[in-house]
């Protein structure tokens, strides 16, 4: 019975991550994202995975931990991709001249 409730918890938490990944892809923005929060979530899932393995309680719930960790990891990577895009958009306009980048004055 404990496994059923643990599964329900992981499914409920896990539903938000594909939505977050979708929003990160479509918005191309880091607005509303927190690296510290994401790392804390990832650490929690990694701890759950390690706990399952060390405890010898490897079952289908482990797959839910791994799936959730995968989605959070994708969202984490998208944060840095979007952050790079935002920084590039903040830079002054650049033009290419003879294959070299030239900043406008």
pLDDT digits (tens, 9 = 90+) for 29-79: 999 999 999 999 999 999 999 999 999 989 999 999 999 999 999 999 999
Rounded distance between C-alpha atoms, residue 98 and residue 47, angstroms = 53
Residue 6: name the closest of 43, 42, 52 by CA. Answer: 52
pLDDT above 90 (res 97): no
CB 36 within 8 A of CB 91: no
Q: Which residues have a Cβ under 8 Å from the Cβ of 36 and sit 6 or more positions away?
A: none
Collapsed DSSP state (helix, strand, coil) of residue 98: coil
Task: Give residue 99's pLDDT.
Answer: 54
pTM confidence score: 0.78
Gyration radius (Cα) of the chain, Å: 20
CB 9 within 8 A of CB 64: no
> Domains in the chain, ordered, with CATH?
2-103 (1.20.1280)
pLDDT above 80 (res 105): no
Residue whose structure tokens are 């929690």: 44
């Amino acid at each position: 019975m404990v496994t059923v409730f643990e599964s329900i918890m992981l499914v409920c938490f896990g539903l938000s991550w594909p939505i977050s990944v979708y929003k990160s892809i479509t918005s191309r923005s880091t607005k509303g994202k927190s690296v510290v929060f994401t790392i804390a979530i990832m650490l929690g899932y990694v701890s759950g995975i390690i706990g399952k393995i060390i405890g010898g309680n490897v079952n289908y719930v482990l797959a839910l931990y791994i799936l959730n960790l995968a989605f959070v990891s994708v969202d984490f990577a998208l944060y840095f991709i979007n952050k790079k895009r935002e920084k590039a958009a903040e830079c002054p306009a650049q033009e290419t001249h003879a294959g070299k980048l030239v900043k406008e004055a």
